[in-house]
Chains A and B, each alone.
Chain A
Amino acid sequence: MNDQKDTDWPKQLFDALVEAGVTLFPYIPDAGNKRLIEYAEAHNGVRPILLTTEEEGVAIAAGADLVAKKAVICMQSSGVGNIPNFLSLVNGGRFPILMMVSMRGDYGEQNPWQYPMGQAVEPILTAMGVLLFRVDCLDDLAPATEAAIAATFKGGNSAALILSQRFLGAKPF
């Protein structure tokens, strides 16, 4: 198993998303998406969009789809708790929405506040019809990204790329 700390995995992920035609990166800042958003800020062809709540990202991505453009919503696991009602738009309307969730409250977490929502991420997304593609190690990243992109933009589903703390590393607090 490769160690993600030695690789520029956010660049690999960013390049794969751009290659898939993603142009909008609505995000709530998180350590897990910091470098990805820095790449988006530095790229002329894409736009990062700072949100006040993850719900906005779901609606922005759906709006972009109405005019045949692609977005990826970047959020921490806590944000999944903010979006279920907006996912009724996605699920009922068959909007192909892609999200990237950087986990807290799973492998190695030390903050007790993070566990309840972290552990509820997958059941909530599953209940709202979002397909899950989990990344636990660097070897998972490319195939899971490719699968999530295919499920969304080819398969017409909504999908979440779940970056676990086993992959990201747990914060030391």
Chain B
Amino acid sequence: MIPATLDRRDVLANLFPKPDDYLFITGLAGSARDTAGLTEDGDNLFTMAGAMGAATSMGLGVAMAAPNRPVAVVTGDGELLMNIGSLATVATIAPDNLSIVCIDNGCHGETGGQTGHTSNKTDLTVMARGAGFTSTLRVETQAELMAAAKFLTEAPGPRFVHLRVRDGPPTPYKRNMNLAECRLRFRSAYQASTGH
């Protein structure tokens, strides 16, 4: 793999030109802040600030229970590796409306930038393929990033997008950390959108 040059603060806006179309579940820390910035902490977003490793599975639950809505999980390399088996579960269920987007900065940015496995030998695209994903995309250059939005809308689901970004700060967005409030916010908005 080539050295990562993309800035994580730029990638999601390129991937999701119309974020209102999606239901978003994120992991904790940087992926949560980047997605909160993208949606302005919208009511189509549930971010984690704990329960590390839960994002992919929570997104699967949403995708299965709301099969007519596009669902995106935005996670990080550390969060995904903590529950990497969840990719096997997603591949077996194979929900067409689910995309997993991993912002891989190769380190644990939230806790001091400690080196992660993906800076060593571990390749998350290969792991996703090994879990059974057939639609995978590794994004390392600006040109690849420009093609990624089309992949999300056109490749058969479930999709896995591996964004290799350089180490650096996430979007400085201060989101609502009250998870009970955020649950009700998401739930109410979803139910309103379905006419209940």
Contacts and interface: CB of A to CB of B under 8 A. Distances in A.
Contacts of A51: 85, 89
A98 interface: no
Nearest to A50: B92
Contacts of A127: none
A89 B54 contact: yes
Contact of A23 (B56, B65, B85, B89): B65
Contacts of A47: 64, 93
Contact of A49 (B62, B64, B85): B64
A63 B187 contact: no
Contacts of B190: 66-68
Contact of B85 (A56, A58, A62, A86): A56
B143 interface: no
Contact of B186 (A50, A53, A66, A71): A66
B177 to A, nearest CB: 10
Contacts of B92: 50
B85 A85 contact: no
B83 A56 contact: yes
B182 to A, nearest CB: 7
A64 B50 contact: no
A60 interface: yes
A56 B180 contact: no
A93 B61 contact: no
Interface in B78-110: 83, 85-86, 88-89, 92-93
A63 B60 contact: yes
A141 to B, nearest CB: 27
Of listed B62, B92, B180, residue having the most chain A CB within 10 A: B62
Given A68-B191, A89-B50, A59 B57 contact: yes
B133 interface: no
A92 B187 CA distance: 16
A88 interface: yes
A93 B182 contact: yes
A123 B23 CA distance: 36
A64 B48 contact: no
B180 A53 contact: no
A30 interface: no
A61 interface: yes
B1 interface: no
Contacts of A63: 25, 57-65
Interface of B: 23, 25, 46, 48, 50-66, 69, 83, 85-86, 88-89, 92-93, 179-180, 182-183, 186-187, 190-191, 196
